[in-house]
């Protein structure tokens, strides 16, 4: 039986794109499934002078693609209340407190409050300060705050932001959202590793040659141009999504599958990232920027982008983990805009057999070295969700030539359609007080410390941009990065 969750949500930035595209549909799905029933309410705040009726129409419009029963949508929207709010004005928090207390009594919310900061990070500290000073936090029930990325622009700004938040909230009350951690196949990494001895016994430098993480985007910067030009692919994707995935792939088995034990192991993995010296960065990290074509603008021709911008829209890098399990194994990462397609995948490349006893002249499919392709375990995160295992098998017919074959499993379309979207999962986790799939401060800190060195070097050296064509998998230097080690990208585009 579904257990009803009881809480008041206050969404700062309630008129914004994130709220309308992700938060309202996710809350509605929790409502449809019975996790939210009668004992919940939502306050949306922003500067716009909306009425509750107009807000309810915005809610209904945001759910249009779900084709839900209109009566259910109307009943759901009736739990939403709008307050025009200036987050820098203390008096507005007095009004917010009064509305919060009224709704607490009206819906029997038991003092449970979740504050979702869906707006510019420079306001996070101000909001947290006023929530405390105006006594909006409740002494009974729970108080939790959900923070969207970016969590800082570098380590120094991230620490300053964290200090501001922890002046009001304890670490266990802060939920730093990384929506990749809510994806089905990212959560599957732990199941694959720790639920199957066949993999965990091989999950080390004795058997794995290299690991490749690819987050590929087909579109350009679109409406995110202003934000993106102050961030770039390294800060926007590597510091959070990619290093979070890497920590799940490399952490040791936790004592128990609990938030605290998992966090301990993830932090140990991120502490083991080999920091690069400035002289090593040029040979271990590649940056790129997409060029114009006859059909599409280049990055420097995008609206609101400077024609001299040196912001990176592509990053590829070689990451090393200096611990007993992973010493010597390169982790290749890449992400970028305007690439060949939109997908996320992880390729775990195993070492070839030391000796190929099938290495005969009559084997036309042999590779140049010892004739056998490496075994590769592929975790397809999106848009396909599933696994592939590439292994060598005998060719059909006379002789004993070998050829690579694939064993694969994909979640069927019905299961995928009924699977919770990332934000739905994470909002449900926050209601449960489970921060396992959120990032913790030490994880953020070690990620920024690793990325800051690379960014500083790039800021001090002028790149030769643009350097890759849209529809490719990035600049040629990305391929060279692996070839220097005798490796290749598994996915070549």
N-term to C-term CA, the chain: 46
- Cβ-contact 72, 3 below 8 angstroms: no
Find the radius of gyration of the CA atoms of the chain.
Answer: 25
Pairing of strands 143-147, 208-216: unpaired
Instruction: Collapse the DSSP code of 141 into the 3-class scheme (helix H, G, I; strand E, B; otherwise coil) and give the result.
Output: coil
Burial of 37 (0-12, 13-18, 19+ CB in 10 A): middle
User: Residue 7 in contact with residue 32, Cβ under 8 Å?
Assistant: no
Q: What is the DSSP letter of 20?
A: I
DSSP H helical ranges for 222-318: 225-229, 232-233, 243-250, 259-271, 278-284
Give the strands of the sheet with 113-117, arranged side by side: 80-84, 40-46, 7-12, 113-117, 143-147, 174-176
Do 147 and 165 contact (CB within 8 A), yes or no?
Answer: yes
Label the pairing between strands 208-216 and 330-336: parallel
Instruction: Enter the tokens of residue 168.
Output: 């009001």
Nearest to 337 by CA among 280, 296, 371, 375: 296
Q: Which of these, 235, 200, 238, 218, lies nearest to 318 by C-alpha position?
A: 238
Which positions are annotated as active-site residues? Answer: 241
């Amino acid at each position: 039986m579904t257990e009803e969750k009881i809480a008041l949500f206050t969404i700062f930035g309630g008129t914004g794109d994130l709220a309308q595209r992700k938060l309202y549909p996710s809350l509605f799905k929790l409502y449809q499934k019975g996790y939210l029933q009668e004992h919940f309410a939502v306050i949306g705040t922003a500067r716009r002078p909306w009425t509750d009726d107009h807000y309810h129409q915005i809610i209904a419009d945001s759910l249009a693609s779900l084709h839900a029963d209109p009566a259910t949508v109307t009943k759901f929207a009736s739990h939403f209340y709008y307050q025009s709010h200036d987050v820098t004005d203390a008096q507005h928090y007095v009004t917010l407190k009064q509305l919060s207390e009224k709704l607490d009594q009206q819906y029997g919310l038991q003092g449970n409050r979740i504050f979702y900061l869906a707006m510019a990070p420079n306001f996070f500290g101000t909001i947290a300060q006023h929530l405390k000073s105006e006594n909006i936090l409740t002494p009974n029930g729970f108080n939790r705050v959900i923070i969207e990325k970016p969590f800082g622009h570098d380590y120094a700004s991230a620490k300053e932001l964290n200090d501001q938040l922890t002046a009001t909230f304890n670490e266990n009350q802060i939920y730093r959202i990384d929506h990749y951690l809510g994806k089905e196949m990212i959560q599957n990494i732990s199941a694959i590793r720790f639920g199957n001895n066949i993999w965990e016994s091989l999950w080390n430098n004795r058997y794995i040659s290299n690991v490749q993480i690819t987050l590929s985007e087909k579109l350009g910067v679109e409406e995110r141009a202003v934000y993106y030009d102050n961030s770039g692919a390294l800060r926007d994707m590597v510091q959070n999504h990619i290093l979070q995935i890497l920590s799940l792939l490399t952490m040791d088995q936790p004592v128990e599958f609990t938030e605290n034990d998992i966090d301990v192991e993830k932090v140990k993995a991120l502490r083991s990232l080999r920091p690069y010296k400035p002289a090593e960065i040029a040979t271990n990290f590649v940056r790129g920027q997409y060029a114009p074509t006859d059909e599409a603008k280049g990055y420097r021709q995008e609206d609101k982008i400077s024609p001299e911008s040196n912001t990176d829209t592509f990053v590829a890098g070689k990451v090393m983990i200096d611990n007993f399990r992973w010493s010597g194994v390169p982790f290749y990462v890449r992400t970028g805009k305007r690439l060949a397609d939109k997908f996320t995948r992880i390729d775990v490349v195993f070492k070839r057999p030391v000796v190929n006893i099938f290495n005969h002249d009559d084997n036309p499919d042999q590779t140049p070295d010892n004739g056998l392709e490496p075994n590769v375990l592929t975790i397809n995160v999106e848009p396909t969700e599933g696994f592939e295992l590439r292994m060598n098998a005998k060719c059909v017919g006379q002789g004993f030539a070998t050829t690579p074959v694939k064993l694969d499993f994909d979640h069927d379309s019905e299961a995928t359609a009924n699977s919770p979207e990332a934000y739905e999962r994470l909002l449900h986790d926050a209601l449960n007080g489970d921060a396992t799939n959120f990032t913790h401060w030490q994880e953020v800190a070690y990620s920024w410390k690793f990325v800051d060195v690379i960014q500083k070097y790039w800021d001090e050296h002028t790149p030769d941009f643009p350097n890759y064509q849209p529809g490719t998998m990035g600049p040629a230097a990305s391929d060279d990065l692996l070839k220097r080690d005798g490796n290749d990208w598994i996915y070549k585009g």
